[in-house]
Chain A
Amino acid sequence: MKFRVIIFTAISALFRNKMRTLLTALGLIIGVAAVIVSVGMGNGAKAQVMAQIASMGDNVILIFAGSVNRGGMTSGAGGAGTLTADDAMALERDVPALELVSPGATGGSRVAAGNQNWSTKIYGASPEYFDIRRWTFTQGGPFTDRDVKTSAKVCVIGNTVATQLFGEPELSLGQTIRIKKVPFTVIGLLGVKGADARGQDQDDTVVMPYTSAMKRVMGTKTLSIINVSAVHGANIPVVVQQITDVLNQRHHIGGDRDADFKVLSQEEIAQMATATSKIMGLLLTIVASVSLVIGGIGIMNIMLVSVTERTREIGIRMAIGARGSDILLQFFIEAITLSCLGGLTGIAVGLGSANLVSNFAGMPVLITSGPILLAFGVSALVGVTFGFYPAIKASSLDPIEALRYE
């Protein structure tokens, strides 16, 4: 029997019972569509996070003043004053792969200008910080090394802060803002960056020389963070190890003394940020796979009904000379055609839903060919697996019994 004829026979058998075919394939359609949408949403979220991480800058490594355990007291990352400006200088001197180093001191405070005030993040840094983290300036520019040396009362402000204090961000340049009653002159307006990987508004910040931040705002002598960037093409894990070695030595870490700092590369930050979405994606994929299997069982069920219903037809075909293998192939191809049609419809529904989700729910969806091919492959496989038993059952009928069947 020609293959073309078998396919045609299968399709016409399926079209004879359109409603049943649709309901049978529905399980697979939903399963395939669910796989495409869930994987697409997972990928979309991941791509968004990766873009945000990339906006941090190139080859960025962050060193946090770490969680330190002293006398049973544990303080969180960045909470303990374990890093100093000397550490930063030592890194610049002893790790040749580092291009830029910026000591940092972070804290929060209320800032005021005129009769407006706003609670924001104060970031103390060196001028290198703007290069490391790829900050641009809408107006004005960064402070200088000289400002750092003199703990100058200057700062640059993010777009959000400028808007809150001055209404129009452009009006902020040259104005004075008061932080803890100390007046600072605004010498630059930062370009807009938007939210970071954790969803925090990166434009809600005031950046000033780290010396000014430590002395005039926070009243501390230690750093909470050091931002560094490695030279282009550097082997990041090696650089991370070198930084760790230098700091271990300076802090006398070793033996039973735990590290009092934490070194995180951009890649590690990305992994942390995408860990949640990975688990969510995995769960969705498992749910979708279960619905694919249930769809397959639906197909088997209907094929078994179909074999019983068409016993007489099978008898007729056998009487006029169909071999068992002809009957097997007929029902097998019918099951596979059904599952492939379901798979294709599922792809269409999945792509449509993904479009709806991204357009109306505003969630990022990234569709790649991988999950589409996978979902289609699985649905075809489901047809093969669950179509085989009914086909075998049909092919092993006795022609005399089958012809007698009413």
Chain B
Amino acid sequence: MDAIIKLDHLEKTYHSAETPVRAVRAVSLEIARGDFVAIMGTSGSGKSTMMNILGCLDRPTGGTYLLDGVDVSGLSRNEFADVRNRKIGFVFQNFNLLARTSALDNVKLPMLYNHSGSKLSGKAQQDKAMKTLEMVGIGKRWDHTPSQLSGGQQQRVAIARSLINDPVLLLADEPTGNLDTRTSFDILGIFQRLNDQGITVIMVTHENDVANFAKRIIIMRDGKVRSDVQVQQRSIAEVELKKLEAEKDDDDS
């Protein structure tokens, strides 16, 4: 199996409290390239810590973490930043776009922090950002600032931003947490489409309905993996949207 993520006895212990808190306890798992995984769990289950470690925002205190074949557990602060920049795309619950900055400039932002040698020219950056915005269906509003956009539109911009440096991994932290059902399905549809194109997606959520759109569900409790199953009856966004339309028609009649 071609694993994009390989965790081996991963540990994370916080020493800030009086008694050390083991947020993640000896987790070993593999995630294959092209998979779509939902990580679930109640608050305190360790899923946020797990997300931070997978996203190279936080360092494990034990075990190893291979991302795309590279051991990232011992990287420096700058190397961490570069890994985040080139290999990982982040999508957050509250979108986290720069305020008073146009959608296009928000999408271009990760390219500005690309410290690798291969840099695109200003024009090429512009074109690529524009194309990515079009791909998530928001090309027409490229000059709008976040305050001029709805939640769903902001999340589309955030997805475009996460894709701009061609990451190998998309990390979504409660991406539909602030959205209504219909918009949630739209966004999940985008994730499914991207996943079909070969991008690995990891999504943290606490809603079963949302997790059902993934291919595999990992449930965490007390810092350990409690269950790890393939989704049997997977929700497909287009189908769910059609159902929603039908329900709406029923309500109206």
Q: Which residue of A lies closest to B77 (CB)?
A: A324
Report yes or no: A319 in contact with B57, Cβ–Cβ below 8 A: yes
Grouping DSSP codes into helix (H, G, I), strand (E, B) and loop, the A interface class, with mixed when no group exceeds half, is helix
In this assembly, does A257 line the interface, its C-beta being within 8 Å of a C-beta of chain B?
no
CB distance from A17 to the nearest CB of B (A): 10
Which chain A residues border B165 with CB–CB below 8 Å?
Answer: 321
Q: Which residue of B lies closest to A396 (CB)?
A: B77
Which chain B residues border A322 with CB–CB below 8 Å?
Answer: 81, 85, 113
Which chain A residues border B57 with CB–CB below 8 Å?
Answer: 319, 399-400, 403
Checking B81, B92, B100 against A16 with a beta-carbon cut-off of 8 angstroms, the contacting residue is B100
Report yes or no: B98 in contact with A321, Cβ–Cβ below 8 A: no
Q: Which residue of B lies closest to A321 (CB)?
A: B85
Which chain B residues border A1 with CB–CB below 8 Å?
Answer: 112-113
CB distance from A292 to the nearest CB of B (A): 32
Type the 1/0 row for A100-137, where 1 means its CB is closer than 8 Å to any CB of B: 00000000000000000000000000000000000000
CB distance from A16 to the nearest CB of B (A): 6
Among A16, A323, A400: residue with most chain B CB under 10 A: A323
In this assembly, does A317 line the interface, its C-beta being within 8 Å of a C-beta of chain B?
yes
Report yes or no: A323 in contact with B112, Cβ–Cβ below 8 A: no
Which chain B residues border A325 with CB–CB below 8 Å?
Answer: 78
Which chain B residues border A323 with CB–CB below 8 Å?
Answer: 77-78, 81-82, 113, 115
Report yes or no: B77 in contact with A321, Cβ–Cβ below 8 A: no
Known A16-B100, A316-B98; judge A400-B109 contact (CB<8 A). Answer: no
Pull 24 A–B residue pairs with CB atoms less than 8 Å apart, ordered by A.
Answer: A2-B112, A313-B98, A313-B99, A315-B96, A316-B98, A317-B109, A319-B57, A319-B84, A319-B90, A320-B90, A320-B109, A320-B110, A321-B81, A321-B110, A322-B81, A323-B77, A323-B81, A323-B82, A323-B113, A323-B115, A324-B77, A399-B57, A400-B57, A403-B92
Top 10 A-B pairs, shortest CB-CB distance? A321-B85, A323-B81, A321-B113, A320-B110, A322-B113, A321-B84, A1-B112, A316-B96, A323-B78, A400-B57
Residues of B whose CB lies within 8 Å of any CB of A are 52, 55, 57-58, 77-78, 81-82, 84-86, 90, 92, 96-100, 109-110, 112-115, 161-162, 165
